[in-house]
Structures are given as structure tokens and as C-alpha cells.
Chain A
Amino acid sequence: MLRYSINRVLLMIPTLLGVAVLVFFLLRIVPGDIVEIKLRGDGGTVTQETIELERKRLGLDRPLINQFGTWMVGMATLDFGDSMWTERPVVTEIAGRLELSLQVAIMATLIAILLAIPMGTAAALFRDSWIDYTVRLITIGGLSIPSFWFGMLIMLTLLGLFNWLPPITFTPIYVDPVANLTQLIWPALAVGYRYCAVVARMIRSSLLEVMNEDYIRTARAKGVYEKLVVSRHALRNALLPAITVIGLEFTFLIGGLVVTEQVFNLNGIGQLFVQSVSRNDFTLIQGMVMLIAAFYVFVNLAIDLLYAVFDPRIRYNS
């Protein structure tokens, strides 16, 4: 398993290299120029000369291949460059936001898993009963209601009932856990609802399938308690496909929550993405794309390794 993991990590290099090439050159095709936006954005008049000078200072006048080379060499030494807009290191820019986004993603995942497993299981076991219909209604709602809109409902409810508005600044959990949690539980709930709906439906359908498997019949024929049939024989098998969904949804939450962050006034990765794209902040966009790509690859590796833990048929070494 160790050898397999090392192989997989090494395989990340060509994947990320491909991402780097794509993001770098695609960005250069996009019309618009950070210097123009920066200097002329507010309607100010700046001479062409100033612009050229600024371009030169940022290194944008050099040949593309040259710029690409500098960026790649930097990345090899874990230097992702400075943001072209704020001039602060890309790592610093991202780190502050990532803390928040990661926390929301983890909380949403916990909410989703804790709700989805009992909901999906109950719906499958009591198929076509009122329990199943209720779960199906709830989950179809989760899939069809956009998270940001659900978020707005939460906000309005909180405002109407408790006269509570989200704070403007983010309090890290290690500074004040209560303030942190009261701030982040709501966005986590808003996105967790959809997340939970996806996972619960997955668990329901895969459990329905597993309950029809021959080995479930065997377990019953052995006189195994029905509870044990479900928890030991069925659920463990049924959770396998859910792991994939959970992993993919989790990575989506890092950087995918543009509107929800807006609704809850959160300064997360999603916001940063929008900002940097609208400013054509090349280095920052590149750094964020690389981060998210790396995240995807790592989460996928984690999914595969988890599969091997749950399913003995999958063993990645001899």
C-alpha cells in the first residue's frame, strides 16, 4: 500500500504539470490586462508610458515562455510568487482564506455525513413507506434548492427571529471557538443540505442494491440479527460508492462556494477567486488553480486508499 501511495503521489507530478501549462497559457489568451485594470480601472488617465513601465516592473513584457519558466522554477522551490495586485505573496493571500473555506467544507461534510447515513439507510430499509417518502422529499429539495438561496433563507430567519447578522470579520476557531462556530455553522448548513441530499440518495440507492445481494440472504439464512445484517453486512458495502461522492463534493466546496460566501459575508477562497479573475491577477489565479488541482488529486488518492481499507478485494500491492 505504501508503494502504491508513493506511486500515486509521483503520478501527481505530470498531472499538476499539465494543469500548470494549461492554466498559464489559457490565462494569457484571455483578453484584458492587469496593469490597465489597476491603473485605469477607476477612470483615471495614465500615460501609455506609465503602463509600459508597470508591465515591465511586473515582468509582463518578457516572452511568455520566459515568464512560464520563472513561475515553474519558483513553484519547484515552493515559491508561488506575489500577487500582481496586492504585491503580497500568493501563499499569504490564499492561506488566510483557505483556513475559512476549509473549515466550512469540513463542517459541511460532517453535517452531510451525519445526516445522510441515517437518512439514506432509513429510506432504503423502509422503502416506499412514509419514511422513504419524507427522506426523498427532503433530498430532492436539497438537490433543487440552490445553496445560496437556502443560505439567504437562513439569514432572513436569523435576522427576523434573533435579529442576528453575520459579523463582518472572521474569527478563527483557535481565537474564539464559540464566535467562530456561530459564524460558520450557518454557511456550513446551507451547503451541507445539498451535500447531504446527494450523499443520502447515493446511500439509499446503493443500500437498496446491496440488500438484494446474495450475501445478505446468506446472512439472514444464518439467523443473523436484522440489525447486524444491516450494520455489518449491508451498510459497509453500501458506503463504498458514497465515499467517492463525499470526496468529490468536499473538493468542490474548496473554492466552489462563490455565491454562498457572498451571502454570508465570508472572505473565502471562492471570493478570492472571483476577485483575482476580475483583476486578471495572473499569479494569484495560477496559484489558486494549482492549489485546487492538488486538492483534487490528493482527495482522489485518499478515496482510493479508503476503498482499499473498506474493501479487501482492492489491495494495491502484492
Chain B
Amino acid sequence: MTVVEADKDVRGRPDAQPGATAPLLQVEDLHTQFHTSRGIVRAVEGVSFSVDRGEVVAIVGESGSGKSVTALSIMRLLPRLTGKIPQGRVTFDGRNLLDLDDEQMREIRGRDISMIFQEPMTSLNPILTIGLQIKEPLQIHLGMSDDEAQARAIELLNLVGITDPERRLDQYPHQFSGGMRQRVMIAIGLACNPKLIIADEPTTALDVTIQAQILELMKNLSRKLNIALIIITHNLGVVARYADRVIVMYAARVAEQGPAEQLFHKPRHPYTMGLLRSVPRLDHPRGSKLETIEGLPPNLANVSTACRFAPRCPFRIPVCEQEPPLYPTDTGSLSRCHRHAEIAEGKITWSSLGGVGLNFAANTEAPVLSVRHLTKHFSVSGGLRGASGTVRAVEDVSFDIYPGETLGLVGESGCGKTTVGRLILRLEEPSAGEIHFEGVNLSTGSAAELKAMRRKVQVIFQDPYSSLNPRMTVGQIIGEPLHVYKIVSGRKQNEERVADLLENVGLRPEMAERYPHQLSGGQRQRVGIARALAMEPSFIVCDEAVSALDVSIQGQIINLLEELQRKFRLAYLFIAHDLAVVRHISARVVVMYFGRVMEIADRDVIYGGSLHPYTKVLLDAAPVPDPTIEKQREPRLIKGELPSHLAPPTGCVFNTRCPLASQECREVIPPLEEKRPGHFAACIKV
């Protein structure tokens, strides 16, 4: 029995969904390939699933797993020249979409199936009004007159919660915030009352409080209007709250699919199990070390006939040389694992890494870095752009970081957290305030002291793709600062040191010969870390250092950072928006909002007994990967968006969104007070 036949057998099985009516969408044995100059990349292979009317199905997987390509294949929006669908059926409402001609397919797009994309910033046409972009499908598909379309567009904007719709229809995308643009995208998606909406990472680019609002909106609308929803995401928390069924993809194939509750609580594929364990979680006690799935996903241009997950699977046995079909499991799911039955019997579990948690002893030493009343104002000049004013990016921020400690800095985009990092690195001049590094005041220090400081303070950037010079080899990238600062003498020593550093970050010394484009995202981030380590720093600013990485890779990098911290007694300022990641890595946490510090406390206090309403709202907004918890949860508290930096709120900056705000909050700027020992909060209500 070949693998393909096995797939067909499984598909022949009646669907686990109740009701005898045909599903709305049925994807059968879909294959999608990209014909590139380097050969054929099989991006999707033999994927089958179905979606019922009104159902919410999630497709989960890491980048390159084929989840977005599956969606684009259904929509037939693959790149014309390179994308091919050699095999498969996509039956939608009784018609095979792959047999339709271009014009028939165009009629379905936006009419019966609409799609919402990941990047609200780039997915709307910058030079056309929002109104035109919403009215376009109405006029094309439903033949509405301009007045009818206008009325419907206003109705749609109301539906997605955009106030003052008449005026906003005449505005352009750049006049909307990211969250608002995504609402506009949803309005466009809903315009013609489609039967199915495919949302490709709809909230990935958004802040956690906005993400919660958008997902809530989509879920409610889909229930209310009985629209089926396919959510493509890498965020397991998002899936847990909203999905009825989950499809886990790995290396172009479905690894496991089944009802959400079952899949989260009783995963039957080692990859799903690993994925669930490698996410830092807010709802679990913090372990000493993150569990990870070692290794990398296979290259889809060249795959073997073995199980695709086998090279990374801790439960690999000889039979795994043969790729398994999708087996039905005891939980009503499908799993592409030979040993699913053993998993069900509990014979196979990921070994716990155990070990004791890092003990953060009370800090008796002098802080490595102290920041006092740090303030940065950017003036927005009148000049060409008209509007003039001052953006208070950072206002009166103070904190200490001790040797060997990680201080987490969390907040939404625009809260000033990255600017704080840049000020510490002296990439920006502070408008006021002091930064002391190892006892030296950086604003008054001599040139020599500053130079020494630049060596001891290093940075790891967010984007491992653009922060490495593509024309330099890894060896040159890491070796350059060694040479500049004369840390080693001579070429031989330089090479040895580079090899040593590569080993420290878990890369083979041969990697020194490679160029950045030959490395994966995780490997590049390791190179970035090695470059920072080359200077023998005592303090590293990690600016969203893991947020661009896939879940399983993210865990590897976090573990590496922690290991290096222990080894070299490094202090980190860990800037991130992911609350769970910050919780995992930090000893203490600073919560910022709109340029100001809202709360500072030990990690367990922040996550266990936070005082400030903003921290509470932030934690409440973050979904956790557990459907039972998520589905019982009350709708989220947070409303509204970040205020404009050009018209900041009076009094407490959070008062416009705060559930506790009163008149007093609009008048008094709350000071950052020590409410309990070591626990600071800036709120007059607590």
C-alpha cells in the first residue's frame, strides 16, 4: 500500500463532523509546487481537509510549512509563472475551483470566499481611499450603484467598529492605525456576505490588546453571519480560543488534524506535542528551561521518503524510514505518525528536562546599569509636513539592572521600549535623564570611557534577515569587531576566536565560511548573538530578539541566551511584546505604556499579582494555548487604541483605555510609587 493510497483510504472515512450535508469546502489531496531556478519546491503535498458552513478551522504551522500556500491555492492566487497545482481537488459549494477558468474564479473571489492578509500596513492600496477599496467588490460582484455601495460601506464600517464611518470612507490607509486597517480589511472581506473567509495570520502584526479585539470581532461576526472561517496562524493561543478544529502542518504535509480540544489536550503527533511544549506559557508554572524541538524543518526542494519529522523526532524508530499515512486516532483526529497508538497509551512522552528554576538571589551588588529619569522627546518639525509638536517617546523612565540579571521590558508598539534600548546604546541622545553604566555617567563620561562602554554594551536585533551584512561571511561579521577593538591580534587568533564563539552559540566552526543567505533564521540569530558576544560584553540589549522566529526555533534561542547568561554572567535588557516570553526569561519586568513606566516588579509578582490596570489588561489580552481555559474566558476588557502622540491624554496616559479611570485620572499624572517592597506602580487607584 503506497502512501497516497493510504491517504485516500483515510479520506474516504466519513468526516468527524455531524450532519450529512456536504461540507462547504473540501480540499482533497492538494499538491502545490513552485518551479524555481533552483528546482521544484513542493510547498504543499497531499493536503486534505474540509470546512463546514459556519465552522472555524485553524491551520497551524511554522514558516514554510505550507499553510499560507494552501490558502493561496484555494484562492488560486499563486504567482502565475512559478506556482503550479499539479494534483488535487478543491470543492467549494459543489464546484471544483481548480477546474474553473480565470473569469469564473474571479467571480468567486471576494464574492463567496474572501481573504484577510497578515500585514494591514501593506495590504491596502496607499493611494486609494478606504471607501473606494470597500466599495470595489460591492460594485463589481453585486452591481451596486455608487450610492448603494456607499450605504453598505458605512454599514460595514459600523459593523467592524469604526466610528464616524462617513468621514473615514474618504480617508486613505495611512490615516488609520494598524488595528483600524485590519478592521477595514475585515470590512472588505465581509462586504459581499461571503460563505468563507480565509484569514492569513490576521493578527500577527498587531499588538496583543488589538489582536484580542480583532479576533473577538472576527469570531462574533462569523457566528452572527454564519460565515466559515479558516484562520492561518503560528500562534497556538489564538487557535485555542477561536478554532473548532485544528490542522497542524509540517513540511508541506498535514501532521495532525482534529477537534481543537482534543488536539491541545491529547496531541497524537510528536510534532504537535513538541510545539505545545516549546511555547512559553502564561498559564503554566515557569520551567527552568524551555522545551524545544531540536534541528530545523527539511528543505522542501529535496525531501526524502522518510517521515518528514523523523530527523527532529525523539521517538524515531526504524519504521519511520517509511513516511506514515494519516492514521485515525483514538481521539477522532488524524495523525501522520506510526506510533500514534503508543502516544495514546501514554507510552511515549517528551522527557521533562527537569532541573531547578534559576534562582534570582536578592541583588546586593551594584547595578551594572542604572537609568534615572530618562526622557526622550522627538520634535516633529512644522516645515514641510505641517503638523508640529513634540512626541514624548520616553518620559521619566528609571530602572536598574544587576549583573547576571534579565530585566524584561514589555509594552505595545509605540510605548517607547525600543527607544529606551536605543538610548542605552547611545544610538540616540537622551533629552534629559542619566544613564550610569558600571558607575560611569554616560552623558558626562570621557571619550575613552564611552568607547569602553560601547564594547561592554552590545545589542541583538529583532530581524536576523536584515541585521547581517549580506556581502560578508559569518566569519567576517563576527571577526570584524575583534579586529576593530584589537581584542585579538593576528589572523590566526581571530579565526580561532570566531570558531570558539560559533561553538558557544551552537554553530559548527565551518559556518564561518558561509554567507547570511545560506543560513536559516535561527542560525542567523545565533550569528547575531555570537557577534555581540565577541566583544566580551557585560550587558546586552535584546530588542525583540526572538519575535521574528518560529516557535520551535524561538525556544532554542531563549535557551541559548539563558545558557550564555549563566556562563558569562551577562545582564540582559530583554525588550519584547510577547508577555509569555518575557515571563520566561526575566527576573524582573518593566511594563511601559505610551512612553511611561506603568509598573516594575519581580516577574512572579507581575504575572501573579500585578497592581496596575494596564498590566492586568495586557495579561488578560494574551491568549494561552489551552482551549478549555480560553473558551470559558470572558470577553476581553481592553477597548480602544493607543492615543495619538501629537495629542497625548492629560493626566494618566492610560486613562483613555483604563477600566478604572475616573475624573481624577484625567487630571493627575500618577507618580511611580513603591506600593509594596520592590513593587512599583504608577496608578492612583491601587
Residues of chain A at the chain B interface (Cβ within 8 Å): 4, 127-128, 213-215, 217-226, 228, 232-233, 236-237, 310-313, 315-318
Q: How far is the CA of A137 from the CA of B102 in the complex (A)?
A: 31
Question: Are A312 and B127 neighbours in the complex by a CB distance under 8 Å?
Answer: yes
21 contacts between A and B (CB under 8 A): A4-B384, A127-B81, A213-B122, A214-B119, A214-B123, A215-B122, A215-B123, A215-B125, A221-B75, A222-B110, A222-B136, A223-B137, A223-B140, A223-B141, A232-B128, A310-B127, A311-B126, A311-B127, A312-B174, A317-B386, A318-B386
Does B34 touch A at the CB level, under 8 Å? no
Supposing A224-B110, A225-B106, A313-B172 touch, asked if A219 and B140 sit within 8 A by C-beta, the answer is: no
Q: How far is the CA of A215 from the CA of B121 in the complex (A)?
A: 9
Q: How far is the CA of A220 from the CA of B77 in the complex (A)?
A: 8
Q: How far is the CA of A224 from the CA of B111 in the complex (A)?
A: 10
Min CB distance, A193 to chain B, in Å? Answer: 30
Q: Mark contacts of B380-394 with chain A using CB atoms, 8 A cut-off: 1 yes-contact digit, 0 otherwise.
A: 000011110000000
User: In the assembled complex, which residues on chain B have CB atoms less than 8 Å from the CB atom of A233?
Assistant: 125, 128
Question: Are B384 and A316 neighbours in the complex by a CB distance under 8 Å?
Answer: yes
Identify 16 new A-B residue pairs, CB closer than 8 A, beyond the known A214-B119, A312-B126.
A215-B123, A218-B115, A218-B117, A218-B125, A218-B185, A218-B188, A220-B77, A221-B110, A222-B109, A222-B110, A222-B114, A222-B140, A222-B188, A223-B107, A224-B110, A224-B137
User: In the assembled complex, which residues on chain B have CB atoms less than 8 Å from the CB atom of A226?
Assistant: 102, 106
Instruction: Identify which of A221, A236, A311 contacts B115 (C-beta below 8 A).
Output: A221
Supposing A237-B127, A317-B386 touch, asked if A217 and B117 sit within 8 A by C-beta, the answer is: yes
Interface of B is mostly: loop
Question: Are A223 and B122 neighbours in the complex by a CB distance under 8 Å?
Answer: no
Q: Mark contacts of B618-655 with chain A using CB atoms, 8 A cut-off: 1 yes-contact digit, 0 otherwise.
A: 00000000000000000000000000000000000000
Residues from 124 to 160 in B contacting A, C-beta threshold 8 Å:
124-129, 136-137, 140-141
Question: Are A223 and B111 neighbours in the complex by a CB distance under 8 Å?
Answer: yes
User: In the assembled complex, which residues on chain A have CB atoms less than 8 Å from the CB atom of B107?
Assistant: 223
Min CB distance, A140 to chain B, in Å? Answer: 22
Q: How far is the CA of A240 from the CA of B81 in the complex (A)?
A: 26
Does B273 touch A at the CB level, under 8 Å? no
User: In the assembled complex, which residues on chain B have CB atoms less than 8 Å from the CB atom of A236?
Assistant: 127
Does B108 touch A at the CB level, under 8 Å? yes
Q: How far is the CA of A215 from the CA of B102 in the complex (A)?
A: 19
User: In the assembled complex, which residues on chain B have CB atoms less than 8 Å from the CB atom of A4?
Assistant: 384
Instruction: Identify which of A217, A223, A232, A313 contacts B126 (C-beta below 8 A).
Output: A313
User: In the assembled complex, which residues on chain B have CB atoms less than 8 Å from the CB atom of A219?
Assistant: 125, 136
Q: How far is the CA of A232 from the CA of B364 in the complex (A)?
A: 65
User: In the assembled complex, which residues on chain B have CB atoms less than 8 Å from the CB atom of A222?
Assistant: 109-110, 114, 136-137, 140, 188
Question: Are A237 and B126 neighbours in the complex by a CB distance under 8 Å?
Answer: yes
User: In the assembled complex, which residues on chain B have CB atoms less than 8 Å from the CB atom of A312?
Assistant: 126-127, 129, 172, 174
User: In the assembled complex, which residues on chain A have CB atoms less than 8 Å from the CB atom of B137?
Assistant: 222-224
Q: How far is the CA of A219 from the CA of B137 in the complex (A)?
A: 9
Q: How far is the CA of A252 from the CA of B395 in the complex (A)?
A: 51
Among residues of B, the one whose C-beta sits closest to the C-beta of A219 is B125
Among residues of A, the one whose C-beta sits closest to the C-beta of B191 is A222
Supposing A221-B115, A312-B174, A313-B172 touch, asked if A215 and B124 sit within 8 A by C-beta, the answer is: yes
Top 5 A-B residue pairs of the complex, sorted by shortest distance between their CB atoms: A318-B386, A223-B110, A222-B110, A223-B109, A214-B122
Q: How far is the CA of A171 from the CA of B637 in the complex (A)?
A: 78
Q: How far is the CA of A228 from the CA of B122 in the complex (A)?
A: 19
Question: Are B386 and A221 neighbours in the complex by a CB distance under 8 Å?
Answer: no
Question: Are A221 and B174 neighbours in the complex by a CB distance under 8 Å?
Answer: no
User: In the assembled complex, which residues on chain A have CB atoms less than 8 Å from the CB atom of B140?
Assistant: 222-225, 228
Q: How far is the CA of A222 from the CA of B122 in the complex (A)?
A: 15
Min CB distance, B34 to chain A, in Å? Answer: 15
Q: How far is the CA of A219 from the CA of B185 in the complex (A)?
A: 11
Q: How far is the CA of A213 from the CA of B121 in the complex (A)?
A: 11
User: In the assembled complex, which residues on chain A have CB atoms less than 8 Å from the CB atom of B102?
Assistant: 226
Q: How far is the CA of A232 from the CA of B122 in the complex (A)?
A: 16
User: In the assembled complex, which residues on chain B have CB atoms less than 8 Å from the CB atom of A128?
Assistant: 81
User: In the assembled complex, which residues on chain B have CB atoms less than 8 Å from the CB atom of A225?
Assistant: 106, 140
Residues from 158 to 195 in B contacting A, C-beta threshold 8 Å:
172, 174, 185, 188
Instruction: Identify which of B111, B117, B125 contacts A237 (C-beta below 8 A).
Output: B125
Question: Are A218 and B126 neighbours in the complex by a CB distance under 8 Å?
Answer: no
User: In the assembled complex, which residues on chain A have CB atoms less than 8 Å from the CB atom of B136?
Assistant: 219, 222, 224
Min CB distance, B95 to chain A, in Å? Answer: 15
Min CB distance, A151 to chain B, in Å? Answer: 38
Among residues of A, the one whose C-beta sits closest to the C-beta of B175 is A312
Question: Are A223 and B106 neighbours in the complex by a CB distance under 8 Å?
Answer: yes
Min CB distance, B198 to chain A, in Å? Answer: 9
Q: How far is the CA of A258 from the CA of B670 in the complex (A)?
A: 72
Question: Are A221 and B127 neighbours in the complex by a CB distance under 8 Å?
Answer: no
Min CB distance, A209 to chain B, in Å? Answer: 12
Min CB distance, B191 to chain A, in Å? Answer: 8
Among residues of A, the one whose C-beta sits closest to the C-beta of B79 is A212
Min CB distance, A206 to chain B, in Å? Answer: 13
Min CB distance, A204 to chain B, in Å? Answer: 16
Among residues of B, the one whose C-beta sits closest to the C-beta of A240 is B127
Min CB distance, A293 to chain B, in Å? Answer: 22
Q: How far is the CA of A219 from the CA of B102 in the complex (A)?
A: 15
Q: How far is the CA of A184 from the CA of B386 in the complex (A)?
A: 45
Among residues of A, the one whose C-beta sits closest to the C-beta of B125 is A215
Q: How far is the CA of A112 from the CA of B509 in the complex (A)?
A: 56
Q: How far is the CA of A233 from the CA of B124 in the complex (A)?
A: 10
Q: How far is the CA of A4 from the CA of B174 in the complex (A)?
A: 21
Among residues of A, the one whose C-beta sits closest to the C-beta of B138 is A222
User: In the assembled complex, which residues on chain A have CB atoms less than 8 Å from the CB atom of B384?
Assistant: 4, 316
Min CB distance, B385 to chain A, in Å? Answer: 8
Q: How far is the CA of A228 from the CA of B139 in the complex (A)?
A: 13
Q: How far is the CA of A215 from the CA of B132 in the complex (A)?
A: 13
Residues from 180 to 221 in B contacting A, C-beta threshold 8 Å:
185, 188
Question: Are A221 and B77 neighbours in the complex by a CB distance under 8 Å?
Answer: yes
User: In the assembled complex, which residues on chain B have CB atoms less than 8 Å from the CB atom of A223?
Assistant: 106-111, 137, 140-141
Min CB distance, B113 to chain A, in Å? Answer: 9
Among residues of A, the one whose C-beta sits closest to the C-beta of B114 is A221
Min CB distance, A231 to chain B, in Å? Answer: 12
Q: How far is the CA of A232 from the CA of B132 in the complex (A)?
A: 11
Q: How far is the CA of A199 from the CA of B126 in the complex (A)?
A: 23
Min CB distance, A143 to chain B, in Å? Answer: 26
Q: How far is the CA of A225 from the CA of B126 in the complex (A)?
A: 19
Supposing A223-B111, A312-B174, A318-B386 touch, asked if A217 and B77 sit within 8 A by C-beta, the answer is: yes
Among residues of B, the one whose C-beta sits closest to the C-beta of A220 is B77
Min CB distance, A12 to chain B, in Å? Answer: 15
Q: How far is the CA of A291 from the CA of B515 in the complex (A)?
A: 52
Q: How far is the CA of A236 from the CA of B127 in the complex (A)?
A: 8
Instruction: Identify which of A310, A313, A315 contacts B386 (C-beta below 8 A).
Output: A315
Among residues of A, the one whose C-beta sits closest to the C-beta of B71 is A221
Q: How far is the CA of A315 from the CA of B172 in the complex (A)?
A: 12
Among residues of A, the one whose C-beta sits closest to the C-beta of B185 is A218
Q: How far is the CA of A315 from the CA of B188 in the complex (A)?
A: 26
User: In the assembled complex, which residues on chain A have CB atoms less than 8 Å from the CB atom of B387?
Assistant: 318
Question: Are B75 and A218 neighbours in the complex by a CB distance under 8 Å?
Answer: no
Min CB distance, B210 to chain A, in Å? Answer: 19
User: In the assembled complex, which residues on chain A have CB atoms less than 8 Å from the CB atom of B77?
Assistant: 217, 220-221
